[in-house]
């Protein structure tokens, strides 16, 4: 099959005409927002591979990114974004330096974990004869050989796998403080040094297996924690990348130049094509169009703008090209002001302090004191320095914080994995902890309780011939109402045939001439009616002398919104709606879903004031919203969630992002969060109980370093097994 390259496979060098003179290759990375399946991967790679100069395209579904290999070093980003837009994908450029750090940290930990696991397994195999009590039947030379083999495996592995802990401990000591890695490093190094000393002397007490096994389990905990952090970082990078924008500036001599939005100065004239976002706050100086301001106001209806009207950064030009004059720089736009409000809300939001962090303040000094007291007590009893040091090492190892360190990360990974399979991405490291404490839920309306997409209110009441004719006009426009007409026609199974010669009057509607008669679709004024019926959210179809046909539009409520609200109420949570939309629209939606308390016409600062008032009353608020005007409120809430269709800045502010058209994932997310909190607390109890039992035994000399490492491993396994219950119980807890 002759088709564009897929899966990033490029032609071999020997088959290319320029194989004799290879040129340097360059990688361009794009974040692709709506890539969700294997079919999407093929479509993305096929669209990019068809572009001139592309050698290979490789898509990564888990990170929703695609890497494009080209010969040109730069200047391709906009072309590739446009190619993906034509294929139905929203993409934005990312730079390699922004991507490399988290990825390299993940790979580094995985490599060290692999080395530690491989070394521990092999040392265990070599040492099994000694453990099983068969050493007395072996010649001393064979036992010594086994010890040297374990030393040759363990010493390089410990030096490599333990570096994260050793470096952290060295940094803490250099700064004159202790952290949890200091006793870990001390125990590992003492056990390794003592074991090497005993091996050189030909003695039997070697604990290389204990040292490397300890590092293996500690690295598991660290790798799990890093996985959580990198997942949040990757999501944030993808979303923040969408804020990088370029604009077409019209110079005084009439020439056009594409420059970065941050370089626009007040007074510059900017050409904004249909479908593009307004790059900065500006004043309309030429043209007429419809502007989607739902990100700013929450209002679902586009606003018709005329010469002299004020436009805001981040809003979308829907209908026709316009020319605007910048009235502010990017950093002083309304968009930036909302970002600053977000930052202020973030600083004022109290974070849940993990129990592990509180325990860590006492852990390091307590371990050192216990180890030192054990060594001194054994020396005073004339047990010799070797036996005393062995007891002290056992104390250092057995009190290692492996189970404590795993208590939260492992439960979070299990919980986030379960939620990810349900279409919920938990971005914040402590998001589940704060979601578990929620007792009051605040919903935005447009795009949250509703779908945020206009649809025909009663399509079945419209005759098929009228709907088909309207769709033939509407298919030529990108206006949301026009798309609603086309969607309704296709849902009914009608053939949508574009009409010839369709013209669009910005802010008014569409028109075409068919067999000598004029057909119009748009506002009442555009269709020649004396006055508009309804609230303005209505299209009209005028076909020559025939009576005009009305097309009422609505923003439908999500199918499961009422059930979700009922489930949240049944669990004892209080609920309200905060929206920037019109009062009548908010009241109708609130009544449809069963919410009695609502507020309309709320700007970003008003939403923050309401949330702050709830917090002052002792409530733990979950804010669920999608618009740019919701971003500060999302940051101000105790916890926050946002749908995947939300504004990029809102997704960045939210603790969790849910996909699909349903709201039921909000209920399940709260259920899983509470289950996660219970499992984490149980894990803390396991870790503390383990230390209360085994530390006294180690101090009394009943535990060797090897038994200490095995006991430590057992506690880690117990914690992990308990954490897996989050995945089991979460299926039953459909309500919080």
pLDDT by residue (tens digit) across 6-22? 223 333 333 333 333 34
596 C-beta neighbours (distance < 10 Å), count:
9
Contacts of 726 (CB under 8 A, 6+ apart): 411, 414, 415, 418, 672, 675, 676, 679
Higher pLDDT, 344 or 673: 673
Q: Is the pTM of this model over 0.85?
A: no
Place of tokens 């503390």: 688
Q: What is the pLDDT of residue 349?
A: 35
Higher pLDDT, 33 or 383: 383
Higher pLDDT, 111 or 144: 111
Catalytic (active site) residue 444? yes
Higher pLDDT, 462 or 293: 462
Q: What is the mean pLDDT of residues 419-444?
A: 81
Q: What is the pLDDT of residue 577?
A: 92
Q: What is the mean pLDDT of residues 95-100?
A: 46
Strand partners for 70: 26, 54
Q: What is the pLDDT of residue 734?
A: 42
Q: What is the mean pLDDT of residues 367-379?
A: 82
- 533 by DSSP, 3-state: which? coil
Q: What percent of the chain has pLDDT over 90?
A: 9
Side-chain-facing half-sphere of 362: CA atoms under 13 Å: 5
Q: What is the pLDDT of residue 415?
A: 81
Element (H, E) at 348: helix 334-348
Confidence band for 443, pLDDT divided at 50, 70 and 90: very high
Contacts of 427 (CB under 8 A, 6+ apart): 231, 232, 235, 236, 654, 655, 656, 657
Q: What is the pLDDT of residue 635?
A: 81
Q: What is the pLDDT of residue 335?
A: 57
Higher pLDDT, 580 or 441: 441
Separation CA 440–CA 135 (nearest Å):
65
Pick the catalytic residue from 106, 292, 444, 655.
444
Does the pLDDT at position 299 exceed 70? Answer: no
Helices (H), 422-520: 431-435, 464-474, 480-491
Q: What is the pLDDT of residue 21?
A: 38
Three-state DSSP string of 655-671: CEEECCCCCHHHHHHHH
pLDDT by residue (tens digit) across 242-291? 344 578 898 888 888 888 777 888 889 999 888 788 888 888 998 888 88
Lowest-pLDDT range of 47-61, 320-334, 640-654:
640-654
Q: What percent of the chain has pLDDT over 70?
A: 73
Distances (CA, A) of 468 to 414, 450, 502, 508: 50, 27, 15, 20
Q: What is the pLDDT of residue 223?
A: 75
Does the pLDDT at position 333 exceed 80? Answer: no
pLDDT by residue (tens digit) across 512-555? 988 888 999 988 888 888 755 444 446 889 988 888 888 888 88
- Among 72-86, 373-387, 606-620, top mean pLDDT goes to 606-620
Confidence band for 73, pLDDT divided at 50, 70 and 90: low
Torsion angle of alpha carbons 217, 218, 220, 223, nearest 10°? -170
Contacts of 156 (CB under 8 A, 6+ apart): none
Confidence band for 622, pLDDT divided at 50, 70 and 90: very high
Distances (CA, A) of 685 to 184, 315, 435, 560, 689: 21, 51, 22, 39, 6
Q: What is the pLDDT of residue 72?
A: 67
- Among 72-86, 318-332, 625-639, 699-713, top mean pLDDT goes to 318-332
Q: What is the mean pLDDT of residues 390-398?
A: 76
pLDDT by residue (tens digit) across 204-231? 667 787 778 778 877 876 776 566 555 5
Confidence band for 353, pLDDT divided at 50, 70 and 90: very low
């Amino acid at each position: 099959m002759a088709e564009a390259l897929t899966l990033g496979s490029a032609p071999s060098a020997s088959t290319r005409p320029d194989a004799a003179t290879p040129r340097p290759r360059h990688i361009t990375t794009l974040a692709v927002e709506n890539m969700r399946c294997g079919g999407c991967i093929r479509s993305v790679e096929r669209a990019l591979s068809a572009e001139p100069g592309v050698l290979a395209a490789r898509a990564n579904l888990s990170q929703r990114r695609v890497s494009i290999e080209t010969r040109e070093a730069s200047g391709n980003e906009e072309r590739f974004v446009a190619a993906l837009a034509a294929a139905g994908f929203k993409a934005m450029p990312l730079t390699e330096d922004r991507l490399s750090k988290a990825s390299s940290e993940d790979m580094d930990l995985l490599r060290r974990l692999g080395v530690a696991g491989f070394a521990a397994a092999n040392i265990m195999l070599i040492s099994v004869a000694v453990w099983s009590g068969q050493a007395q039947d072996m010649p001393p030379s064979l036992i010594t050989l086994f010890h040297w083999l374990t030393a040759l495996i363990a010493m390089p592995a410990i030096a490599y796998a333990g570096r994260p802990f050793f470096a952290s401990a060295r940094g803490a000591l250099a700064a004159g403080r202790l952290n949890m890695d200091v006793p870990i490093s001390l125990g590992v190094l003492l056990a390794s040094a003592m074991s090497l000393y005993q091996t050189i002397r030909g003695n039997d007490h070697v604990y290389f297996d204990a040292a490397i096994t300890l590092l293996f389990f500690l690295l598991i905990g660290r790798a799990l924690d890093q996985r959580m952090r990198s997942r949040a970082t990757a999501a944030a990078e993808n979303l923040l990348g969408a804020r990088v924008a370029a604009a077409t500036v019209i110079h005084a001599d009439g020439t056009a130049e594409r420059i970065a939005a941050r370089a626009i100065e007040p007074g510059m004239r900017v050409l904004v094509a249909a479908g593009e976002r307004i790059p900065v706050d500006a004043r309309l100086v030429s043209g007429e169009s419809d502007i989607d301001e739902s990100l700013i106001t929450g209002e679902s209806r586009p606003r018709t703008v005329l010469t002299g009207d004020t436009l805001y950064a981040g809003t979308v030009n829907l209908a026709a090209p316009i020319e605007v004059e910048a009235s502010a720089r990017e950093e002083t736009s309304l968009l930036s002001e909302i970002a600053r409000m977000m930052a202020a809300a973030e600083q004022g939001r109290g974070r849940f302090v993990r129990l592990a962090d509180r325990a860590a303040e006492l852990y390091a000094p307590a371990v050192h004191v216990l180890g030192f007291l054990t060594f001194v007590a054994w020396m005073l009893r004339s047990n010799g320095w070797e036996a005393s040091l062995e007891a002290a090492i056992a104390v250092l190892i057995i009190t290692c914080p492996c189970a404590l360190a795993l208590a939260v990360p492992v439960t979070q990974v299990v919980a986030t994995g379960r939620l990810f399979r349900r279409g919920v991405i938990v971005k914040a490291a402590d998001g589940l902890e704060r979601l578990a404490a929620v007792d009051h839920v605040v919903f935005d309306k447009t795009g949250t309780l509703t779908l945020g997409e206009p649809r025909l209110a009663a399509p079945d009441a419209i005759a098929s011939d009228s709907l088909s004719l309207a769709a033939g006009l509407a298919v030529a426009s990108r206006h949301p109402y026009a798309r609603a007409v086309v969607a309704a026609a296709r849902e009914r199974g009608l053939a949508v045939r574009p009409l010839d010669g369709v013209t669009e009057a910005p802010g008014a509607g569409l028109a075409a001439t068919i067999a000598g008669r004029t057909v119009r679709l748009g506002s009442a004024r555009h269709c020649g009616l004396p006055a508009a019926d309804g609230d303005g959210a209505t299209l009209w179809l005028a076909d020559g002398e025939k009576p005009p046909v009305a097309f009422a539009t609505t923003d439908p409520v999500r199918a499961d919104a009422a059930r979700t609200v009922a489930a949240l109420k049944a669990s004892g949570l209080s609920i309200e709606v905060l929206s920037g939309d019109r009062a009548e629209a908010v009241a109708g939606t609130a009544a449809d879903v069963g919410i009695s308390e609502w507020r309309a016409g709320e700007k970003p600062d008003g939403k923050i004031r309401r949330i702050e008032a709830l917090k002052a009353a002792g409530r733990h608020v979950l804010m669920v919203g999608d618009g740019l005007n919701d971003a500060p409120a999302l940051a101000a809430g105790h916890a926050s969630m946002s749908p995947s269709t939300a504004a990029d800045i809102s997704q960045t502010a939210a603790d969790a992002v849910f996909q699909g058209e349903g709201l039921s994932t909000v209920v399940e997310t709260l259920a899983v969060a509470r289950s996660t909190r219970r499992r984490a607390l149980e894990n803390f109890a396991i870790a503390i109980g383990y230390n209360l039992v085994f530390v006294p035994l180690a101090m009394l000399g009943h535990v060797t370093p090897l038994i200490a490492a095995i006991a430590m491993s057992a506690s880690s396994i117990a914690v992990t097994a308990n954490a897996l219950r989050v995945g089991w119980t979460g299926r039953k807890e459909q309500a919080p």
